[in-house]
Amino acid sequence: MPTILVVEDNADLAFGLRNNLEIDGYEVVVESNGRHGLDKARRDPPSLIILDLMLPGIDGFRFLRELRECGPNIPVLILTARGEEADKVRGLKLGADDYVTKPFGVMELLARVEALLRRGAASGTASAALATIEHVGDVRIDQATRTVERRGRPVDLTPKEFDLLIALLQRRGAVASRVDLMKEVWGYSSAVVSRTVDTHIAELRRKLEANPAVPNHILTVRKRGYRLRTEVNNTQAPHTPDRSPPS
């Protein structure tokens, strides 16, 4: 049975989350303090964490930073106030896998929890089966260890950033639509509308491209989606700018 750690200081909301998750078949642990929640996640890693951003002890941003620094590859779903776009982006950059805005529907939350858990299980299976090393320009991708290097230096990707990179890599240059990537990486249906893909693409470009504003490998294909150009090696070929408009 998957275990979900809910880190939320609003007692009523925490009770509602716990009740609905347990009805759906999950084992639930609730912590109201950010520091206590982080200690719990380190001692006994759960299958997934639902994390509020405004917490006593340490806030959700510091929780995410310290969690990712210590290594556990645990899916994290953050809870944010509606309209706080900067908080969503910051949370994703720090390693969150997805977010839900308050107030939210229970069915949406449960669907996202299920999708994150399903994707996490699939990623583990894929990593075991695809024990190969790939190169994209000066980027080295080790699928077995889920590590990435650029020019010999480690690149810190979040779990979802790595999954997105692999989804593009496996297409061998073919275009992937946003809907396809949402289904494959996040497990969502085509009915879900989100800028999550675009945010993660922007982060991949920032970490892997020589010039993120003029990407050489992670390309936008207008009105279609994204593709990964693998045939150009940055260390040997002249830079060819991506002339597609930004997403």
Let me know whether 155 and 209 are in one domain: yes
Mean predicted confidence (pLDDT) in 47-64: 94
Judged against a pLDDT cut of 80, whether residue 182 lies above it is answered with yes
Let me know whether 118 and 170 are in one domain: no
Q: How confident is the model at residue 232 (pLDDT cuts 50, 70, 90)?
A: very low
Let me know whether 109 and 139 are in one domain: no
The answer as to whether 112 is a domain residue is: yes
Let me know whether 99 and 29 are in one domain: yes
pLDDT score of 241? 43
The answer as to whether 239 is a domain residue is: no
Let me know whether 141 and 102 are in one domain: no
Total domains in the fold of the chain: 2
Cβ count within 10 A of residue 115: 22
The answer as to whether 240 is a domain residue is: no
Judged against a pLDDT cut of 50, whether residue 110 lies above it is answered with yes
Let me know whether 34 and 107 are in one domain: yes
Note down the domain range covering 68: 3-124
Here the CATH number for the domain that contains residue 95 is 3.40.50.2300
Let me know whether 146 and 93 are in one domain: no
Let me know whether 119 and 144 are in one domain: no
Q: What is the pLDDT of residues 135-158, one digit of tens each?
A: 888 999 987 778 899 998 999 998
For the record, the structure tokens of 59 come out as 């806030």
Let me know whether 10 and 120 are in one domain: yes
Residue 150 CB-half CA count within 13 A: 11
Lowest mean pLDDT among 4-13, 47-56, 222-231, 236-245: 236-245
pLDDT score of 41? 92
Longest Cα pair distance anywhere in the chain, in angstroms?
A: 59
Let me know whether 98 and 168 are in one domain: no
Q: What is the pLDDT of residues 33-46, one digit of tens each?
A: 999 999 999 888 89
Residues constituting the chain: 247
Mean predicted confidence (pLDDT) in 70-88: 80
Extended strands (E) in the chain: 3-7, 27-31, 48-52, 76-81, 98-102, 133-136, 139-142, 147-150, 153-155, 218-221, 225-228
Let me know whether 159 and 100 are in one domain: no
Model-level pTM greater than 0.85? Answer: no
